[in-house]
């Protein structure tokens, strides 16, 4: 049960990251278009933010790892995605009026809008690995399984968002759904931790 929950949470984390990244193109398009420069900015920011998240998540995972603390990453991710709804338009207006070059404008907008949430969500995978590893002899196998599940979530998040969600729903509604899902994941982690403690 413990292992299944962590896999589910890692899958959801991967799904959410790619869904937000695909939505990034929709959010920036009215202001900067959808050229290769815009997508280059989005992908660069997500890759750099994820690398920072992996580093921080790995460091955090060695300090009293628990499902409860794992759940806080999902709550943090939800809080960091929320400004996209509340202040996204205001940020885009500010960047658009202060940076004329669409290359650097889209890069700055991507940093402001997606940097922090992606760092938080990037911390999920390395923390998941730490929670799953019981002994070093199986660490490689566990890490492989975890990254398979997480990447599968990313792939489905990419297809689901690009093929269906953006056709059926407004961007704001998709973001609200992702926030609710992240909060639900955080609550699931907290509940699982309580049940695990009670079982002991």
Least confident interval from 52-61, 70-79, 94-103: 94-103
Q: Domain residues for 93?
A: 2-199
153: left (phi over 0), alpha (psi -120 to 50) or beta: alpha
> How much of the chain, in percent, has pLDDT values that exceed 70?
94
pLDDT-derived band at 138 (thresholds 50, 70, 90) equals low
DSSP state letters, the chain: -HHHHHHHHHHHHHHHHHHHHHHHHHHHHHHH-SSHHHHHHHHHHHHHHHHHHHHHHHHHTTSS--HHHHHHHHHHHHHHHHHHHHTHHHHHHHHHHH--SHHHHHHHHHHHHHHHHHHHHHTHHHHHHHHH-SSGGGHHHHHHHHHHHHHHHHHHHHHIIIIIIHHHS-HHHHHHHHHHHHHHHHHHHHHHHHHHHHH-
Task: Read off the pLDDT band of 158 (50, 70, 90).
Answer: very high
User: Is the four-CA dihedral 26, 31, 33, 39 of positive or negative sign?
Assistant: negative
pLDDT at residue number 135: 56
Q: How many domains does the chain have?
A: 1
CB 26 within 8 A of CB 93: no
What are 156's two structure tokens? 């489905």
pLDDT value for 34: 83
Angle at 68 between CA 122 and CA 114, to 5 degrees: 25
> 174 pLDDT exceeds 70?
yes
Residue 12 has pLDDT above 90, yes or no: yes
CATH number at residue 173: 1.20.1250
Distance CA 173, CA 89 (A): 15
Is the full-model pTM beyond 0.95?
no
């Amino acid at each position: 049960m413990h292992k299944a929950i962590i896999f589910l949470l890692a899958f959801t984390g991967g799904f959410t990251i790619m869904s937000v990244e695909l939505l990034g193109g929709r959010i920036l398009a009215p202001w900067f278009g959808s050229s290769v420069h815009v997508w280059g900015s989005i992908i660069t920011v997500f890759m750099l933010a994820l690398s920072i998240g992996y580093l921080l998540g790995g460091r955090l995972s060695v300090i009293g790892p628990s499902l409860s603390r794992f759940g806080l990453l999902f709550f943090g991710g939800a809080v960091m995605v929320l400004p996209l709804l509340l202040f996204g338009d205001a940020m885009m207006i500010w960047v658009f009026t202060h940076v004329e070059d669409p290359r650097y404008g889209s890069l700055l907008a991507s940093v402001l809008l997606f940097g922090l949430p992606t760092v938080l969500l990037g911390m999920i995978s390395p923390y998941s690995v730490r929670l799953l590893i019981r002994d070093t002899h199986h660490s490689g196998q566990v890490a492989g399984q975890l990254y398979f599940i997480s990447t599968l979530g990313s792939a489905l998040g990419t297809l689901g968002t690009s093929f269906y969600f953006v056709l059926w729903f407004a961007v704001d509604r998709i973001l609200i759904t992702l926030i609710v899902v992240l909060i639900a994941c955080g609550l699931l982690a907290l509940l699982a931790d309580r049940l695990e403690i009670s079982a002991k």
